[in-house]
A and B are shown apart, each in its own frame.
Chain A
Amino acid sequence: MSAAPIERRDLCDLQGPPLAAASGVLGAMGLIIQRELRLSFRRPEQLLQPLVFFLIVTTLFPLGLSLQLSLLRDMAPGVLWVAALLSSLLSLDSLFKSDADDGTLDQLALSGQSLTAIVIAKTAAHWLLSGAALVLVSPLVAIALGIPGPVFPVMLLSLALGTLTLSWLGAIGAGLTVGLKRGNVLLSLIVLPLAMPLLIFGAGATDRAISGISSAGALYFLGSLCILTSTLAPFAAAAALRITLE
């Protein structure tokens, strides 16, 4: 193979045209999402583990409390949400961990793309694989806990918004704790207090729907939390990664 030429004719000609077109941001983000999905599907057991954890945690509550279905139904939204929170946290630890361990995080930081865009792509892929999966499994859990069918749309919407917000918050926590010993415990310690509003509004929305009151208010709050976090968290998570990379 003949040696490929150096990127620019004159080494320091920063204004001159490059020999090959640079990658656009959206293209790069799509590539990263593709990479994440491909990596995850090659290890399918790692996708299933948080979901199984979700089911196990939900089972703990009836076992530990009572079989009185009416009581269970009262507690159902909270139980569902706590279980969803804990299983999401479990999977968040791996958001940056494997890349940090094998050195590919350095390469991502040096790829010429903005670290914020990279964080958005990785977090979006992560949510698709964990949060969205959780939302899809939640009807099963809801039936087991006695949540009535008509409430499902509110429940699913609140879980979708909530797990997405949690992924963003978790990205900040993961960025700060990747590479620390017992980082996963610290991750939970950091993220859970920040996630309490999510729990309140999410479980509250479902609760109100069960009682027949309008849950629109709670859903609006949840939605605005989601938007706020989606816009601010990527920058914070990228900043956290830069601190970690040093």
Chain B
Amino acid sequence: MDSAAQAFTVEKAHVWRGDRHVLKGVSLELHSRELMHVSGPNGAGKTTLLRVACGLLRPEQGRVSWCGRPIGSIRAEFQGALAYAAHEPALKGDLTALENLRYMIGLKRRHTRAELEAALERTGVGSCAHLPVRVLSAGQRRRAVMARVLATRAALWVLDEPFTNLDAAGSALVSGLLAEHLERGGMALVVAHHELPVAGSIRRLDLQA
């Protein structure tokens, strides 16, 4: 089932923020069932790299491709295959967890309420599904974000420090989800400060400041 074509590539991306050369010709390549662990000191450009990978930030030089095509030309298809979780949980505090998922997944594809509830259940916040997100703890919000990532059924997961605010059980959950995702044929680009206890093929990308 592995496709011969490189599934996701970033080629020599350069990004400047004012005078700072944040990304200096970074390249990476990801295939099905692979996880790339991006590490580096603060300010090395890890979040910038993830935003470039998602297409939110256009690099001044360099290219991002999905299945051999530049992501700018296949925007809708690429975004359908992508799930991005930023460092801050992107949830509306006044909506319930279930409503948050509904309004985000609903923009991408048709879904059923049961699917969303099952995703929340899987990540351990099923009981919080009908609570407004602002009353949830930081750990619960992080789990709700993972539920959203799961519910998108995306092939490429781009996660910025997914283990933040999680206890041991939560970290084990995220590792488990990543392992399952890889097993199903997905791929993941993950920024994390510590080693990833995930079974599967892990590649490493170290960014220097």
A residues with a Cβ closer than 8 A to B are 1, 3-12, 14, 18-23, 27-28, 31-32, 34-35, 38-39, 42-43, 98, 102-104, 106-113, 245-246
In the complex, what residue of chain A is closest to B52 when comparing beta carbons? A246
**Chain B residue at minimal CB-CB distance from A30:** B106
Size range of the interface on B? 35 or more
16 contacts between A and B (CB under 8 A): A1-B119, A1-B122, A6-B186, A12-B3, A20-B110, A22-B108, A23-B109, A102-B90, A102-B91, A102-B92, A106-B56, A107-B90, A110-B56, A110-B82, A112-B76, A245-B57
Complex interface: chain A residues within 8 A of B186 (CB): 6
Which one of B35-43, B147-155, B163-171, B192-200 is at the A interface? B147-155
Contact A107 B104 (CB under 8 A): yes
- Measured between beta carbons, the chain B residues less than 8 angstroms from A18 are 80, 109
Q: Which residues of A contact B69 (CB under 8 A)?
A: 14
Given contacts A21-B109, A246-B58, could you give 10 more A-B pairs where the C-beta distance is less than 8 Å?
A1-B119, A6-B184, A7-B153, A31-B107, A35-B103, A39-B92, A98-B92, A102-B91, A110-B84, A112-B75
In the A-B complex, list the 5 residue pairs whose CB atoms are closest, starting with the nearest: A103-B90, A12-B67, A111-B107, A112-B79, A1-B118
Q: Which of A12, A22, A31, A39 has the most CB of B within 10 A?
A: A12
Chain B 50-77: CB-based contact to A (< 8 A → 1; otherwise 0): 0000111110000000011100001111
Q: CB within 8 A of B155: which of A8, A32, A34? A: A8
Complex alpha-carbon distance, A23 and B103, angstroms: 12
Give residues 77-113 of B contacting A (CB, 8 Å). Answer: 77, 79-82, 84, 86, 88-95, 99, 103-104, 106-111
A10–B90 alpha-carbon span in the complex (Å): 30
Q: Flag if B107 contacts A43 (CB, 8 Å).
A: no
Determine whether the beta carbon of A11 is less than 8 Å from that of B108.
no
Q: How far is the CB of A96 from chain B (nearest CB, A)?
A: 13
Q: Does B121 reach chain A (CB closer than 8 Å)?
A: yes
Contact yes or no, A28 B185, CB < 8 A? no
Distance in Å from the Cβ of A34 to the closest Cβ of chain B?
8
Q: Is B11 an interface residue (CB 8 A)?
A: no
* Contact A111 B84, beta carbon cutoff 8 Å: no
Task: Return B39 CB to nearest CB of chain A, in Å.
Answer: 22
